[in-house]
Structure 1
Amino acid sequence: MSESATPVVTPPPQRLYTVSCHCGGVKFQAQMEKELTKGHRCNCSSCFKTRMWVHPVSDLSTFKMMTPEENVSQYVYNTKMCEHYFCKTCGTQTHMMGDCPGYGRYILASINCLEELTQEEFSNIKFRYADGINSNFMDVPKYTNHL
């Protein structure tokens, strides 16, 4: 390969995951990395209080709601860059959507709502911390043990 050639980057293997709330009133499918290597926990006020643990949807066009939209409620706060979605019946937050400057449009699925994963598989998911309280989402916050 010549020095000017652009290296070919092979995307990680993908899997179509099903995500659902506690009562099953909200359910969707979306494509994510099979090994779930991009999960993160954030220390912003919302994630801190709800203990949210998320993974990005790889291809936003694969997001498919499988239950009626009227089962879902939305909460938006502060900067209004992130929309939090949860079940109107059981209150489980299933995902977030937004558009962040420098990052673009995103959908983050709640890892805790992934179906068909064992407790062992959940315990092996790698994640990183995000300093959302200071809007430095690419940085690790000073304190993480509580997240």
Structure 2
Amino acid sequence: MADKPTHQGACACGAVAYEVDTDLEGLIECNCSHCYPKGFVLAFVAPDAFRLKKDGPQTEYTFNTHKIRHLFCDTCGVQAFALGETADGSKMVAVNVRTLTDIEPFSWTAQRVDGRSF
């Protein structure tokens, strides 16, 4: 993905680390029962734009339709990303923008989405 910048990300303890190609456009904040309490800001990318660099032990959590695999670090509990499908069945990775380590906090803008009503 040469047309989009590559960003580095990790959980709080560094056991899980990744890089992702994204321009940080189209970010969302969702108010569903999972995203809102955790304060997620999400960037959705194709699997080929995401590369796992450190695959520390993670636990998987699914809910509702079980189409998204929420993975969180067993050591620090941070969810850096999730794996799933879009509404049309395409594979995607949902990156927690708050785990990007090379951007200035709050340097992005996100659209609020009413996931609670889905």
The TM-score, its normalising length taken from structure 1, stands at 0.72
Higher RCO, 1 vs 2 (CA within 8 Å, ≥6 residues apart): 2
Percent same amino acid at aligned positions?
22
**In the alignment, which residue of structure 2 is the partner of 1:19?**
9
The reply on whether 1:47 has 2:35 as its aligned counterpart is yes
With structure 2 as the length reference, what TM-score do the two structures score?
0.88
**Residue deviations 1:110-139 (CA, integer Å, cap 9, x gap):** 111001222xxx32311101111111xxxx
Query: 1:103 Cα shift?
Result: 6.3
Other structure's SS at 1:83 match: strand
Where does residue 52 of structure 2 map in the other structure? 65
- Name the CA distance, whole Å, in 2 between partners of 1:103 and 1:42: 20
Gap change, CA 1:62 and 1:37, over 3 Å in 2: closer
Unmatched segments (≥5 aa) in structure 1: 1-12, 136-147
Question: What does residue 79 of structure 2 align with?
Answer: 93
- Structure 1 consecutive aligned stretches of length 4 or more whose deviation exceeds 3 Å: none
Structure (1 or 2) with the greater strand fraction:
2
How large is the RMSD of aligned CA atoms in angstroms?
Answer: 1.8
* Structure 2 counterpart SS, 1:67: strand
Q: 1:77 aligns with which of 63, 68, 78?
A: 63
What is the aligned length? Answer: 117
**1:66-98 deviations in Å (ceiling 9; x for gaps):** 113x52221111111211111110000101121
The answer to whether the Cα contact below 8 Å between 2:58 and 2:71 also exists between their aligned partners in 1 is yes
